[in-house]
Amino acid sequence: MMSCLVFSLSLLLIFLHSCTLTLAQTSATVPAPSGPTNITKILEKAGQFTTFIRLLKTTQAGDQINTQLNNSKQGMTVFAPTDNAFSSLKAGTLNSLSSQQQVSLVQFHLLPNFISISQFQTVSNPLRTQAGDTSPGDFPLNVTTLGNQVNVSTGIVDATVANTIYTDGELAVYQVDKVLQPLSIFASPAPAPAPAPAPATLNLKKKSPAALSPSSGSDDAVVDDSGAGGVNVHGVAVLGLGVFLFVFWL
């Protein structure tokens, strides 16, 4: 009887141990693709990052990430916008960017060191991105945390880290719900200042003769001694002299 009880307990323990192993395997992190670390393969396996993968390839930023991860121990952190995040941009936004601007946009989503979720609580703002190595003032990136929630601000958009796609102690890939738009690319240019008014000019034109005629009411009017409508001064003088001589002759 006792042996039967011990046997039953043994079977129960074996069954419970088997269930524990099954649950542990179910909750484990999905392993990375085999071979050297490859950011595009990680994103392809996660799904919903088609646009970001295309940018990584066209700008060759994906190759640079893989080279850095496989040839150094610096680590890297990637903020990966989903396809829905890119679709929320204004139509034609990506096509309107120059090749260099597309490179800077992708690099703005890359941090040149590994940062875990818990480490975001102690980092100093603004974070240094791959795009901000030469001109950090044009690419400010700040993070704030609330518990385990991490928010990322660029000065134009505020995004949220929605999920951890991949982490291995050297590479961390986080899903963000918005495209991180740097100020140097997406900020609206300041309006041009209004032109200064032209200086006032004095009108120095000479007056026309008509403006100087007596009819204009000017004090400088001249006496017309030859016209029919004026007094002939010379004629009066001659007439007076003739009268004087006539009287004297008499």
pLDDT tens digit sequence for 66-116: 998 888 878 999 999 999 999 999 999 999 999 999 999 999 999 999 999
Q: What domain count does the chain have?
A: 1
Question: Is 240 part of a structural domain of the chain?
Answer: no
Question: Is 210 part of a structural domain of the chain?
Answer: no
Question: Is 21 part of a structural domain of the chain?
Answer: no
In this prediction, residues 10-24 reach a mean pLDDT of 43
Please identify which residue in the block is written with the tokens 């909750």: 27
In this prediction, residues 167-175 reach a mean pLDDT of 94
pLDDT tens track for 54-67:
999 999 999 999 99
Task: Give Cα separations from 151 to 89, 123, 167, 180, 226 (angstroms).
Answer: 19, 13, 18, 11, 100
Question: Is 23 part of a structural domain of the chain?
Answer: no
Q: What is the DSSP letter of 4?
A: H
Domain span including residue 62: 39-186
Question: Is 201 part of a structural domain of the chain?
Answer: no
The pLDDT of residue 70 is 87
pLDDT tens track for 180-193:
999 888 876 545 55
Question: Is 56 part of a structural domain of the chain?
Answer: yes
Contact 100, 146 (CB under 8 A): no
Question: Is 235 part of a structural domain of the chain?
Answer: no
Helices (H) and strands (E) in the chain, counts: 9, 6
172: domain CATH number is 2.30.180.10
- 168: burial class by Cβ within 10 Å (0-12, 13-18, 19+)? middle
pLDDT at 124 over 60: yes
Contact 128, 111 (CB under 8 A): yes
pLDDT at 230 over 60: no
Residue 223 or residue 48, greater confidence: 48
Across the chain, mean pLDDT equals 75
Question: Is 147 part of a structural domain of the chain?
Answer: yes
Its sign, for the CA torsion 42, 152, 85, 163, is positive
